[in-house]
C-alpha cells in the first residue's frame, strides 16, 4: 500500500470517535494491531492498540503515544495508521489494563 498519497489527519481529528477500529500497519505494511480506544485527545493522547490474536480473540491491549503512529485516510476515506514498531515490539510492551 502506498501511504504517501494518503491524507494525514489533523490534530483535531485525533479523537476516539475517528480512530477507534483503525487498522495499524507496521514497517513492512504488515497489520500490527487495531485501535481499541484513546485516552485523551490530540498530540498528548495515548492510543490503546489490540495486538495479536485473531478476530479480536486473544489480543493484547497495549498503550503507545499517538505521535508514534502516523494516522491518515486512504482514497476511500478509511482511517488507518502506520508505525515504525513491529508486531513483536508492540507485543513486548506491558499489557494495558482499563
When pLDDT is averaged across residues 74-97 and rounded to a whole number, the result is 95
Residue 20 maps to a domain: yes
Mapping DSSP to helix (H, G, I), strand (E, B) and coil, where does residue 24 land? strand
The whole-model pTM stands at: 0.91
Print the domain residue range for 73: 3-85
What's the pLDDT tens digit per position in 14-47? Answer: 999 999 999 999 999 999 999 999 998 888 899 9
Residue 92 maps to a domain: no
From residue 53, give the alpha-carbon distance in Å to each of 48, 62, 92.
Answer: 15, 13, 14
CA nearest to 40, candidates 73, 61, 66: 66
Confidence of residue 56 (pLDDT cuts 50, 70, 90): low
Residue 32: φ, ψ to 5°: -105, -15
pLDDT at 26: 96
Q: Report which of residues 65 and 57 the model is more confident about.
A: 65
Residue 16 maps to a domain: yes
Residue 90 maps to a domain: no
CATH number for position 15: 2.30.30
Tell me how many domains the chain contains: 1
Residue 97 maps to a domain: no
Instruction: Judge whether 64 and 86 are in contact, CB under 8 Å.
Output: no
- Whether residue 57 has pLDDT greater than 90: no
Amino acid at each position: 500500500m502506498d501511504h504517501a498519497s494518503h491524507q494525514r489527519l489533523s490534530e483535531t481529528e485525533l479523537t476516539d470517535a475517528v480512530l477507534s477500529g483503525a487498522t495499524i500497519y507496521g514497517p513492512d505494511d504488515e497489520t500490527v494491531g487495531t485501535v481499541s480506544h484513546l485516552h485523551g485527545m490530540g498530540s498528548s493522547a495515548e492510543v490503546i492498540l489490540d495486538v495479536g490474536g485473531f478476530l479480536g480473540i486473544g489480543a493484547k491491549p497495549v498503550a503507545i503515544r499517538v505521535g508514534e503512529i502516523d494516522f491518515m485516510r486512504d482514497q476511500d476515506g478509511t482511517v488507518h495508521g502506520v508505525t515504525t514498531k513491529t508486531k513483536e515490539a508492540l507485543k513486548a510492551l506491558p499489557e494495558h489494563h482499563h
